[in-house]
Amino acid sequence: MRIFSFLKKLGKEKEIQETVSEKLAFSEIESWLEKKVKENEFKEKEILVIVKDKIREFNEDLKIKIVFLKNFDVESKKAEDRIKGIVSDSRIQYIGAVDNLMDNLENFKETKFSELTKRIDKIFSSFNKASFKNYERATILIGKEMANIKEGFKTFSKDLLKIFNHNKEIGELFQNIEFIKSKLNSLNFVEKDLVEINESIVFLNEKIKQEEKDNQELLREIKEIKQSEDYKNMLEKKEKINVFKEESKNNILNLKQLIDFKALANFFHINKEQMKILKEYKENFQTNFEKDNGKQIISFLDESKLNNEEILEKIRKANFKLEEINNYEQSINDYGLSKLNYKIKERSIEIDNLKIEKFKKEKRDERLKENKEDLIDLLKQKLSKMNVEVV
């Protein structure tokens, strides 16, 4: 017995009303929503009172009709005992379903229009499932009494359908209000993020500006150092060191030419370890000589009796030049240029990192602004459907 499907019919009998467009500033939307919520809550309370009155009338009518159904004499009907038994059992089951329905209708707690329609639809859907077969079986022998109950359901259904159709805009308005509130909340979050991002970008710009200013100061210091007399003297020392190194190289090369490596090899050929050292010394003579100031080659020459005064003199001159180069190198002072250049490099890396971070913030700022525009468009569209123009 499908009496209640009024939710599917809602809107089919929508009344045509003349609407007047309302104009609002964007800043007035929240206060407008609060006003509409209060208006709707008052209307909801009125509807609940009306619906409860209808339920009360419906239940009172049902109770009277159920009495007639209970008092119906099934045994007086001409039918097989089996059929009478089925009808009697179905009547009892049907009456139980009706009693349960009335209890559910009297005790619902819903206070929202949308919840009310869903709750009533659920109550009657459950009733239909529980009573359909019993209704059909009971009508085999019980006609008028069952028809009267069915007619009561139809009347109640039409009354509720009329109430809900007439007030359908209340549910729609609450849905629209929730949608608008949700978008306004999202918009508030976006605007908050935009403020924070803007503050971050300002901070990053100031930080970049300060780091670049500090770098300019370091470059100025470097320039002053390079223009100083001390620094120019240091450069002259470096030039002298380069000259000394070239002279030292030539001295060591001349020394190598005086040494008879073939004779040394013949002398040490039976000793593999010494031959290995001699070969390495010969192949990298300058490096090895500078490393030990010629001590190893002097040892080889002394042991093989191949040393002479000319070679020793060359060795002394070569060592003197190396010592002179070392003294000059120790006196070299870069006047903090290495530290200053290192600081500039560090700050340059920091500036690049800050610029990357700023770029990310700017991109996020762009996306949030696009999101903000989308949210505003959605709000305007929804409000336009509610006959509200945002100006």
DSSP assignment of 309-365, as one string? HHHHHHHHHHHHHHHHHHHHHHT---TTHHHHHHHHHHHHHHHHHHHHHHHHHHHHH
Q: Which residue has the higher pLDDT, 364 or 335?
A: 364
Query: pLDDT tens, 215-256?
Result: 999 999 888 888 888 778 888 888 888 888 888 888 888 888
Instruction: For residue 13, name the pLDDT band (cuts at 50, 70, 90).
Output: very low
Statement: residue 10 has pLDDT above 60: no
CB 127 within 8 A of CB 103: no
Cα dihedral: 226, 228, 231, 233 (round 10): 140
Statement: residue 346 has pLDDT above 60: yes
Return the percentage of the chain with pLDDT > 70, whole number: 94
Enter the pTM of the model.
Answer: 0.55
Average pLDDT, the chain: 85
Please give the single-letter amino acid code of residue 386. Answer: M
User: Averaged over 349-357, what is the pLDDT?
Assistant: 95
Residues 307 and 304: their CA atoms lie apart, in Å, by 8
Phi, psi dihedral angles at 22 (to 5 degrees): -105, 140
User: Averaged over 348-368, what is the pLDDT?
Assistant: 95
Query: pLDDT tens, 78-125?
Result: 888 899 899 889 989 999 999 998 998 888 776 777 777 888 888 888
pLDDT of 197 reads 95
Return the percentage of the chain with pLDDT > 90, whole number: 23
Rg of the chain in Å (alpha carbons): 52
Instruction: For residue 20, name the pLDDT band (cuts at 50, 70, 90).
Output: low
- In terms of average pLDDT, the best of 55-64, 257-266, 312-321, 348-357 is 348-357
Lowest-pLDDT range, 64-68, 307-311, 335-339? 335-339
Q: At what angle do helices 309-330 and 229-258 cross, to 10 degrees?
A: 160
Q: Where are the domains of the chain?
A: 6-166, 229-334
Residues 384 and 379: their CA atoms lie apart, in Å, by 8
Phi, psi dihedral angles at 331 (to 5 degrees): -85, -5
CA–CA distance from 324 to each of 196, 312, 366 (Å)? Answer: 64, 18, 66
Query: pLDDT tens, 163-192?
Result: 887 777 777 777 888 888 899 999 999 999
pLDDT of 177 reads 84
